[in-house]
Amino acid sequence: MANKILRIVLIIVLFIVFFELGLFSSYTIVTAEAPNVQGLIDMQISKIQEFFNPEKVNDVLIKDPTPVNISNKKDVALKMESLSQVDGVNINSMNITTYDDTDNENLTVNIEALGYASPKSSSGQIIISQDPSYKVIATAQASFKENGLRVDENTLEITSILKLY
């Protein structure tokens, strides 16, 4: 049994030695300089430490948001319009997602929609643009009612308004 473990350790050590020799020789070929052994080893150690960094584990554990459909899009758009003080919110561009479990009765939803500014007039003409001027992002509480998932407009809060250029 000890003989097998010794062989496995020897194979791993030989693999690491050949890997390092290959790294040093390729560094010499590419840069035409003698390799900085300490610098290359430090770089490898830092890359391995980054791989096992606890912050990386959190990135893996955070799941993607789940898209949901709500039954009161028009009411939510009007409330977003009044709170964000834009001249219109596009219902078709509305993106509603949640990180909560959709089996729960109450959900916290994130709402993103494109907003429009008032038309600009120049030299007596009104020019109406189809291009959105803002991206409005909001959060709200939603719950399942008899006709589907409804957002409570009283809990709607604008988290950011981004100007699109």
Q: Full-prediction pTM beyond 0.75?
A: no
Comparing CA positions, the residue from 98, 99, 96 lying closest to residue 112 is 96
pLDDT category of residue 60 using cuts at 50, 70 and 90: low
Task: Taking residues 90-104, report their average pLDDT.
Answer: 86
Instruction: Give me the pLDDT at residue 103, please.
Output: 82
Six-digit token string for 38: 């300490």
Q: Report yes or no: 159 and 138 within 8 Å, Cβ to Cβ.
A: yes
Distances (CA, A) of 82 to 25, 73, 78, 88: 66, 14, 6, 9
Instruction: Give me the pLDDT at residue 55, please.
Output: 65
Six-digit token string for 78: 């009007």
DSSP letter assigned to residue 16: H
Higher pLDDT, 11 or 93: 11
Q: What is the pLDDT of residues 112-141, one digit of tens each?
A: 998 887 665 455 555 555 677 888 899 999
Q: Show the DSSP H helices in the chain as ranges.
A: 2-31, 37-51, 54-61, 73-84
SS3 sequence of 89-120: ECCCCCEEEECCCCCCCEEEEEEEEEEECCCE
The contacts of residue 135 (CB under 8 Å, 6+ apart) are 112, 113, 114, 115, 161, 162, 164
Q: Report yes or no: 142 and 156 within 8 Å, Cβ to Cβ.
A: no
The proportion of the chain whose per-residue pLDDT surpasses 90, expressed as a percent, equals 15
Amino acid at 54: P
Instruction: Give me the pLDDT at residue 18, please.
Output: 92
The contacts of residue 148 (CB under 8 Å, 6+ apart) are 69, 70, 71
Task: Taking residues 80-102, report their average pLDDT.
Answer: 86
Distance between CA atoms of residues 150 and 56, nearest Å: 35
Amino acid at 160: S
Please count the other Cβ atoms lying within 10 Å of the Cβ belonging to residue 136: 26
